[in-house]
């Protein structure tokens, strides 16, 4: 995984240093700006993956800068910059202020004083949510496998599978259009060190087809006579 560039806009040196220190040996690289003017220059040179934005800054405050960032017609702000996730750093904990911050286009906020552990957890959560870490979706016919939450759905409906049927279908979706013998499936889905009879594969294939039939997708699991099974949308 490549490291994420985080830009902190914060006039308090102690806070910048604390965050920089907490990023040692993490997946984040910290870039620092003391105010909005410095931040603008940094953003024009390199679009960060996420911004930590202090609310009370000398000159333009954080909320106004967030609004500026979200409007693509501001000088130096392009479409990419307008989508940078923002976590607000704020000493104000009143609910109405939080709402004001979120309305200005913030993705989350952390109330000072915060622990760096909490900050890193928030950064990770925001990056996940905003697609900084791309969620891989594998599609096949009407089926969709979400790699992040390990769920398979069919046209938006959850496909309720037992653990082995899930592993089997997940394997098939990763490896479509190929024929696998029963022993290959045992090896790759069940794991090589487990002793299971080959007909166990047939049992689970049957169960998988039954669940898929509820979603009219059972045709995807094909029996190849004398060889094994294939997962394919083609006849």
Interacting residue ranges for Ca ion, rule: CB under 5 A: 11, 54, 56
Core vs surface per residue 206-229: b (16+ CB within 10 A) or e: eebbebbeebebeebbbeeeeebb
My answer on whether omega of the bond before 113 falls inside 30° of 0, hence cis, is yes
Q: Which residue is nearest to Ca ion (CB)?
A: 56
Chain position carrying tokens 């920089």: 20
Q: Which is nearer to Ca ion, 55 or 229 (CB)?
A: 55
DSSP β-bridge partners for residue 151: 146
Core vs surface per residue 164-183: b (16+ CB within 10 A) or e: bbbbbbbebbeeeeeebebe
Q: How far is the CB of 99 from Ca ion (least distance, A)?
A: 20
SS3 26: coil
Q: Which is nearer to Ca ion, 54 or 107 (CB)?
A: 54
Q: Which is nearer to Ca ion, 55 or 172 (CB)?
A: 55
Q: How many CB atoms lie within 10 A of CB 144?
A: 17
SS3 143: strand
Q: Which is nearer to Ca ion, 57 or 140 (CB)?
A: 57
CA distance 114 to 185: 49
Q: How far is the CB of 49 from Ca ion (least distance, A)?
A: 22
SS3 83: coil
Q: How far is the CB of 58 from Ca ion (least distance, A)?
A: 8
Q: How far is the CB of 9 from Ca ion (least distance, A)?
A: 9
Q: Which is nearer to Ca ion, 56 or 138 (CB)?
A: 56
Q: Which is nearer to Ca ion, 11 or 142 (CB)?
A: 11
Q: How far is the CB of 88 from Ca ion (least distance, A)?
A: 11
Rounded to 10°, the helix 95-103/62-70 angle is 30
CA distance 110 to 156: 34
Q: How far is the CB of 190 from Ca ion (least distance, A)?
A: 57
Q: How far is the CB of 43 from Ca ion (least distance, A)?
A: 19
Q: Which is nearer to Ca ion, 36 or 220 (CB)?
A: 36
């Amino acid at each position: 995984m490549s490291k994420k560039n985080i830009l902190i806009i914060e006039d308090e040196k102690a806070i910048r240093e604390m965050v920089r220190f907490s990023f040692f040996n993490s997946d984040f690289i910290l870039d620092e700006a003391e105010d909005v003017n410095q931040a603008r220059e940094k953003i024009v040179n390199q679009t960060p993956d996420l911004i930590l934005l202090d609310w009370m800054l000398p000159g333009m405050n954080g909320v106004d800068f967030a609004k500026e960032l979200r409007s693509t017609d501001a000088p130096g702000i392009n479409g990419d910059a307008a989508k940078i996730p923002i976590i607000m750093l704020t000493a104000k904990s009143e609910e109405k202020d939080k709402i004001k911050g979120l309305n200005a286009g913030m993705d989350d906020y952390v109330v000072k004083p915060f622990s760096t552990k909490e900050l890193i957890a928030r950064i990770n959560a925001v990056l996940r949510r905003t697609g900084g870490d791309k969620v891989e979706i594998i599609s096949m016919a009407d089926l969709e496998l979400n790699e992040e939450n390990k769920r398979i759905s069919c046209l938006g409906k959850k496909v309720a599978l037992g653990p082995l049927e899930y592993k089997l279908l997940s394997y098939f979706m990763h490896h479509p259009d190929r024929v696998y013998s029963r022993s290959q499936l045992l090896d790759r889905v069940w794991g090589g060190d487990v002793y299971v009879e080959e007909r166990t594969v047939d049992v689970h294939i049957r169960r998988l087809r039954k669940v898929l039939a509820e979603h009219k997708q059972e045709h995807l699991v094909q029996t190849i006579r004398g060889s094994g099974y294939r997962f394919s949308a083609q006849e």
